[in-house]
Chain A
């Protein structure tokens, strides 16, 4: 079974650093991108950025560029989302998702999602 398993909920103080993880299993991790998606309380989905685990190429939404870092360790099939200095406004639910491209196709879609990691930032 293809699945993405995310790390557990985090409670942090403003200014602290944090790295959350997303471990893929059941498929070849380097074949497909991993995207990160934010959902603030009571709000919609926001694409943050993605990484190609085969070469760690990343690209970010302009809204998140410079605020977070996406990385991956293909040896352990894990992608990461990192903050150096959290703010209260980073409080949200964060999902990772496999950004799948069928063989020979020119299109992508997020077909497998993690259950989400809740991040709470409060003093």
Chain B
């Protein structure tokens, strides 16, 4: 069972805004930054958001991250068909002294 909690799925029509939540605790999200990874079908994961809300070069500004307390969120605005993927939140956990991933959220574009 994952230390971080995410909904298993989310969906929207093209152009809509989709939000994915990630819930943790005081030993991970509450004290460390959150990263988000996108995994397109059949490919390696790709860094999407780091340090809670920072986008690496090349990531469209449709993707945004936020954090409050022990929870974080990823928002995709202006949803596009190519956004169909699995999205994972992750953070360092001080109690486990290790990195933890959420179970992943599958985003479907209807």
**Chain A contact residues, CB within 8 Å of chain B:** 35, 37, 44-47, 49-50, 59-62, 95, 97, 99, 105, 107-111, 113-116
Contact = CB atoms under 8 A, between A and B. Distances in A.
Interface of B: 2, 32-33, 35, 37, 39, 44-47, 50-51, 56, 86, 88, 90, 92, 96-104
Contacts of B37: 45, 110
A61 B98 contact: yes
A46 B101 contact: yes
Contacts, number: 63
Contacts of B88: 44-45
Contact of A111 (B2, B50, B100, B103): B50
B86 A44 contact: yes
Nearest to B2: A44
A35 B101 CA distance: 13
